[in-house]
Amino acid sequence: MTDPTLEHPSVLLRRHGAVAASGPDAGVAAHYGDPVREQRALVRGRAVVDQSQRGVLTVSGPDRLSWLTTLSSQVLTGLRPGESTETLFLSVQGRIEFAPHVLDDGTTTWLVTEHAEAPGLAAWLTAMRFALRVEIQDVSEQWAVLAATRDLSGELAGLLPGHDAPPSVPVWHDPWPGVAAGGHAYAAVDGHPGGQRAWCEHLVPRAHLDTVVSGLERDGFSLAGSWAAEALRIEAWRPRWGVDTDEKTIPHELDWMRTAVHLSKGCYKGQETVARVHNLGHPPRRITFLDLDGSQHTLPESGAVVELGGRTVGRITAAQLHHEAGPIALAVLKRSVDPAAVLTVRDVVAPDSRAQQDPAAGAAAPDAGQSEQWAASQTVVVPPDAGSVVGRAEGLMRGPRGGGTRL
């Protein structure tokens, strides 16, 4: 299937200094010439990020919230107008298939997705309509996403032409890393690095994206690229569909139980796996945060291997340069990896794949096939013993070999 973001890149890529992103962010700018400065402006609340590569679906009709609740991992029935949450649609085996951001405005439920998610999710929801009073539309071509670290809906509404402006600009407030009703946190709640991060995704008519951004620039805002957004996401240990997930990912591995799963809700596809892993076992893999050796001017690509003692124990899902912490990454590792171990990240570099990673340094990419490596220290996100059985004595239900009762 052809990716429309490659055929129809964002109008903001015409801005001076814009360097196109690749991968899941193809179609928007990776940066506009100075990624670190852009990141600092974003943290201060004086920049916006073009995320018009994202998918946008709408679900309307009186049955929409109760219907979505029956299909997904979250309770959406009582979602109030303007309230934000997120949910997961799982396979029968409990693996993550879709992970939309959810906002309801009182008449319509908005689902903000990664671009690659939108067609599949729209098709699956349409197939599950049956006789219910719901209508599903993929409106990605009509709506763009503009992200910031504070709510700019008032400013944006004032910049939209009156005849096209909605009553208010729909805005999704990221609930991460709070623990939603029915959720369960595997990582620490107090002192979580995401606790200081605010993230808002505003929905604006795509035809007026350039107009509203120009208006914000007149008011002193600047544009930040996807690299800046990724650095803040990685620092906050925030999972992202299609980046930190693969075809085997279950919610427990990414600490997604805290915001996207209600452990006490009724039956839904994948619930048995969610309950079994949480109540009786541990997730087979775990996401971890890595501080990378900062002596190099490059970063590992997504998919770079993580090694311990020469043995592959996981893979990098995302890496970026943080304006304060330096080079950082998220990785998914085998559960058995010692949380105190210093790891090695190894990558094989393609020509010119990283020539733009550090524009200020002007570093060129190594030759094709050259292996690079970085020492990496871990900060545990999902502990190896994650689950409700943490702290429970083991072996109490097993008798000794040959029969009898264990005392």
H-type alpha helices, 59-208: 64-71, 118-127, 153-159
Dump pLDDT digits (tens) for 358-374: 444 334 444 556 889 99
Quick one: which of 69, 53, 156 has its CA closest to 113?
Answer: 53
Assign 131 a pLDDT band (cuts: 50, 70, 90): confident
Mean pLDDT of 47-63: 98
- Structural domains in the chain, CATH included, are 4-235 (3.30.1360.120), 284-380 (2.40.30.110)
Looking at the predicted structure, is the pLDDT value of residue 357 above 60? Answer: no
For Cα atoms 135, 1, 32, give the angle at the middle one, nearest 5 degrees. Answer: 90
pLDDT band at 352 (very low <50, low <70, confident <90, very high): low
The candidate with the shortest Cα–Cα distance to 152, out of 91, 199, 115, 189, is: 199
DSSP string, 238-249: ---TTTT--TT-
| CA–CA gap between residue 289 and residue 185 (Å, rounded) | 16
CA–CA separation, 179 and 85 (whole Å)? 11
Kindly state the average pLDDT of the residues 36-58. 98
| Gyration radius from the chain CA atoms | 22
Query: How confident is the model over 198-228, as pLDDT tens digits?
Result: 999 999 999 999 999 999 999 999 999 999 9
What percent of the chain is predicted at pLDDT more than 90? 82
Please state, in angstroms and as integers, the Cα–Cα distance from residue 240 to each residue in 189, 198, 293, following that order: 19, 16, 24
Q: In the block, which residue shows the tokens 């503009």?
A: 146
Instruction: Quote the pTM value.
Output: 0.90
